[in-house]
Structure 1
């Protein structure tokens, strides 16, 4: 439940916020394109319950940018539905999050290692430049 009182006006605003064509939006929520067009031309139309549920779900799964655009278009602040999962699903999600966290830690370590190597290479490059200058000075001093 998103907290939206769905009419054709809000449905059209959602389509615009999602930046979808009439056809893609109709396909996404499971209605005919002519229904989507009807909402735009008759904004006070109230969709059937099943369609309102589909609109809720589409808005729930939309990203924060879509939520912001929808709020700007309608003035309705989006309230997301809590996700209901079983204890078994929760354990699986936590396992997946642990794997992702471990992988991110390895990537972070590699990046740290690469930064250390890059810093060392910079120091070596500076030392090589200093050495070249000293050789140039010594070569010039030997000729004089």
Structure 2
């Protein structure tokens, strides 16, 4: 997220409420849009940082080495073109987007609770669907070996 903000000069998710729903969306893979005019190497590194598995993300030391070794990866970021990009939105903020330091533990608990409620809501549907499928397959196999009258 920091690389995206440095590149665009905008805050990610500027148009969304910063609440438990956003936490769930991010955990489910929602990311800011890839800017049209972004340098390719920079985009690839940024996507690595966004990997859903934290163990597959580069460490701070890895990033420091990459940025310090300018010869290996050279990005000519044309900030004017990037800032003009329609992908990043206007310089405004959602009134419910909170940009101050605060404890996330209550929000994380809320997100976990919301997520488990959603899972519980869908569970009976999936179990009912499985029962229907099981009944259909029993009906199909029940007819095997029977002679038609």
TM-score, length-normalised on structure 1? 0.36
| Richer in helix (by share) | 1
| Structure number with larger C-alpha Rg | 1
Q: Structure with the greater relative contact order (CA < 8 A, sep ≥ 6): 1 or 2?
A: 2
